[in-house]
Each structure stands twice: as C-alpha cells, then as structure tokens.
C-alpha cells in the first residue's frame, strides 16, 4: 500500500440521507487518498 495523507471511513449507516457514492466522490474531491467502506449489515453478495 502506498503512503497516504488522509484516510476516510464511511458507510451507508453514517449518511442515511445522502447517496454513498456522492459522499465518497466528495471525499475524494476534498483530498482523501483512501476510503474504507464499512458495511456490517449487507450480505456478502451485496457488499
């Protein structure tokens, strides 16, 4: 893994009123180098 400066952790449960892809896109535009997607609810197939 390369070096990174800003690490974001997100998931649908953190943004119930916003589209997750829009949240991740905004994070990347804002300077995030890496995003960890947390999902403890969805099935493995959906994830």
Query: Length of the chain in residues, anyone?
Result: 47
b/e code 15-45 from CB counts within 10 Å (16+ = b): eeeeeeeebbeebeeeebeeeeeeeeeeeee
Q: What is the pLDDT of residues 32-43, one digit of tens each?
A: 999 999 888 877
Q: What is the pLDDT confidence band of residue 22, given thresholds at 50, 70 and 90?
A: very high
Give the pLDDT of residue 25.
Answer: 96
How far is CA 17 from each of CA 1, 7, 11, 22, 40, rounded to the nearest angstrom? 32, 22, 12, 11, 18
Mean pLDDT taken over the chain: 88
């Amino acid at each position: 893994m390369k070096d990174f400066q800003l690490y974001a952790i997100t998931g649908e449960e953190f943004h119930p009123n916003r589209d997750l892809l829009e949240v991740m896109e905004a994070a990347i535009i804002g300077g995030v180098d890496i995003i960890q997607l947390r999902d403890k609810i969805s099935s493995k197939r959906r994830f």
